[in-house]
């Protein structure tokens, strides 16, 4: 009880000091009304052009932070080097903003040269890594892109003709495939932000029309948002660009700092009481369990952890048979002349590796890297049996395949 009383007195003192400091800061903060466009909450550093706000209610040194509200429902931001984009979400805690194309076709923006160097935003490095990826946009007949040999995801908003599809893929394999080069037309090479977590699914791309997430670093307001306060310029009497945090409440009821002090003063003793009761109950449960063990035979339950394996290990992969293509370049299966992973044709004296369960074969280097990340066949998606018996490093020779000497 004595400990709880001391903690309460300390918390009340802390609350009093924080309230006094908050009131002083609040006197310096401008009276900026909370704004909203549709379901988007607009607050510092963002402003709204049509609201006739005080310039210091938003971060006026950077015009990009001023938003537009279309028909009171659609929030639009004009980003230099990218153009007008629709704002889908603003997260003030992480200082991130999600945007998309107003016409619902973000990939069309990627086909043109874009950059964010003249804006306060950058691509979220936690999602897209250090830099975007160079992809090739190709227009192909629909029957080619839908064939099992080319399992590529079409970009639906760019495919305006039902007989043709637009696909996005690595720049290199497109030119190396005879079928693709003869029947498809390269539209453009473009830098595209791709989520790093989706890279293990290549060449099965995710939807390129997913909202683009950007972040800003200046001004730094995330600490204010995390503590439930408002962010703004520290002083209205001069043109200083220094920002600080201010309480949301003004003159009615308890201030936010008072609520925090009250919550701490009541919550800590309550937490200590809860911990004491929990320890007491745990002791009683242990005592009852000890008595029961003395009157009954012990029962042992063995729980083995379930391993999670994303791919296959190198030893298992090496058990799968290899095949060396002969001088003629002919294969055991005449129709399978292209590696479904890299989309390159097989060449004489190249080494292939096959998966015994489904008898599909690929370049040895390609399938080795695939199986290390995904324990499934790239074509049929069947899971290879990890207990496949060991075999020789190369398969026996045949009329169209020769083994090395």
Tell whether 121 is covered by a domain.
Answer: yes
Tell whether 341 is covered by a domain.
Answer: yes
Residues 336 and 401 in one domain: yes
Residues 110 and 224 in one domain: yes
3-state secondary structure (DSSP) of residue 14? helix
Q: In the listed set 189, 209, 227, which residue is the last one of a domain according to the structure?
A: 189
Tell whether 352 is covered by a domain.
Answer: yes
Residues 57 and 85 in one domain: yes
The Cα 268–Cα 209 span in angstroms is 48
**pLDDT one-digit tens code per residue, 117-132:** 999 999 999 998 888 8
The Cα 69–Cα 77 span in angstroms is 9
Residues 227 and 342 in one domain: no
CB 85 within 8 A of CB 100: yes
**pLDDT one-digit tens code per residue, 279-312:** 888 888 887 776 666 555 454 544 455 455 467 8
Tell whether 101 is covered by a domain.
Answer: yes
The Cα 132–Cα 171 span in angstroms is 13
Tell whether 157 is covered by a domain.
Answer: yes
The pLDDT, as a whole number, for residue 54 is 86
The pLDDT, as a whole number, for residue 249 is 60
Residues 119 and 238 in one domain: yes
At 402, is the pLDDT very low, low, confident or very high (cuts 50, 70, 90)?
A: very low
Q: In the listed set 165, 189, 213, which residue is the last one of a domain according to the structure?
A: 189
Q: In the listed set 145, 163, 189, which residue is the last one of a domain according to the structure?
A: 189
3-state secondary structure (DSSP) of residue 345? strand
Tell whether 290 is covered by a domain.
Answer: no
Tell whether 6 is covered by a domain.
Answer: no
User: Domain range for residue 165?
Assistant: 134-189
The pLDDT, as a whole number, for residue 149 is 52
Tell whether 146 is covered by a domain.
Answer: yes
Residues 100 and 127 in one domain: yes
- Provide the β-strand partners of residue 135: 170, 190
- Counted domains in the chain: 3
At 203, is the pLDDT very low, low, confident or very high (cuts 50, 70, 90)?
A: low
Section 147-171 average pLDDT: 74
Say whether pLDDT at 150 is over 60: no
What CATH number did the domain enclosing 351 receive? 3.30.40.10
Residues 40 and 100 in one domain: yes
Say whether pLDDT at 2 is over 80: no
The pLDDT, as a whole number, for residue 387 is 56
The Cα 232–Cα 43 span in angstroms is 9
| Strands annotated E in 2-159 | 35-37, 40-42, 47-48, 66-70, 74-79, 83-91, 96-100, 121-123, 133-141
CB 109 within 8 A of CB 116: no
Residues 324 and 236 in one domain: no
Residues 226 and 174 in one domain: no
Q: Tell me which of 404 and 94 has the higher pLDDT.
A: 94
Low-confidence winner among 150-159, 177-186, 366-375 (lowest mean pLDDT): 177-186
**pLDDT one-digit tens code per residue, 336-367:** 788 888 988 888 888 888 888 888 888 889 98
The pLDDT, as a whole number, for residue 362 is 86
Residues 64 and 203 in one domain: yes
Low-confidence winner among 71-75, 133-137, 288-292 (lowest mean pLDDT): 288-292
Q: Is 329 left (phi over 0), alpha (psi -120 to 50) or beta?
A: left
Residues 338 and 351 in one domain: yes
Residues 235 and 91 in one domain: yes
């Amino acid at each position: 009880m004595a400990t709880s009383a001391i903690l309460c007195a300390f918390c009340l003192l802390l609350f009093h000091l924080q309230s006094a400091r908050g009131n002083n800061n609040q006197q310096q903060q401008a009276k900026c009304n909370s704004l909203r466009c549709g379901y988007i909450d607009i607050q510092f550093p963002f402003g709204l052009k049509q609201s006739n706000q005080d310039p210091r209610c938003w971060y006026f040194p950077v015009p990009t932070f001023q938003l537009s509200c279309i028909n009171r429902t659609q929030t639009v931001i004009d980003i230099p080097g990218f153009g007008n984009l629709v704002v889908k979400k603003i997260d003030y805690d992480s200082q991130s903003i999600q945007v998309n194309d107003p016409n619902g076709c973000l990939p069309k923006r990627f086909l043109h040269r874009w950059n964010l160097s003249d804006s306060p935003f950058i691509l979220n490095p936690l999602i897209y890594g250090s830099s975007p990826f160079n992809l090739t946009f190709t227009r192909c007949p629909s029957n080619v892109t839908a064939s099992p040999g080319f399992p590529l995801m079409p970009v639906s908003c760019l495919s305006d003709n039902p007989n043709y599809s637009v696909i996005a893929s690595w720049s290199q394999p497109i030119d190396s495939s005879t079928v693709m080069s003869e029947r498809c037309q390269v539209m453009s090479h473009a830098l595209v932000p791709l989520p790093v977590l989706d890279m293990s699914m290549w060449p099965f791309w995710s939807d390129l029309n997913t909202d683009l997430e950007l972040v800003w670093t200046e001004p730094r307001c995330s600490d204010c948002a995390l503590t439930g306060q408002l962010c703004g310029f520290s002083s209205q009497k001069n043109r200083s660009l220094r920002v600080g945090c201010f309480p949301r409440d003004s003159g009615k009821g308890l201030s936010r700092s008072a609520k925090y002090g009250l919550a701490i003063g009541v919550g800590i003793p309550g937490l200590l009481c809860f911990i004491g009761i929990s320890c007491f109950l745990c002791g009683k449960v242990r005592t009852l369990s000890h008595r029961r063990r003395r009157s009954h035979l012990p029962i042992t339950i063995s729980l083995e952890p379930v391993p999670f394996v994303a791919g296959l290990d190198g030893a298992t992969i090496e058990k799968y048979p290899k095949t060396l293509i002969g001088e003629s370049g002919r294969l055991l299966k005449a129709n399978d002349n292209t590696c479904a992973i890299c989309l390159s044709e097989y060449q004489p004296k190249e080494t292939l590796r096959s998966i015994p369960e489904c008898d599909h074969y690929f370049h040895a280097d390609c399938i080795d890297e695939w199986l290390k990340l995904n324990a499934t066949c790239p074509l049929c998606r069947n899971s290879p049996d990890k207990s496949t018996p060991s075999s020789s490093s190369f398969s026996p020779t045949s009329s169209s395949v020769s083994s090395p000497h």
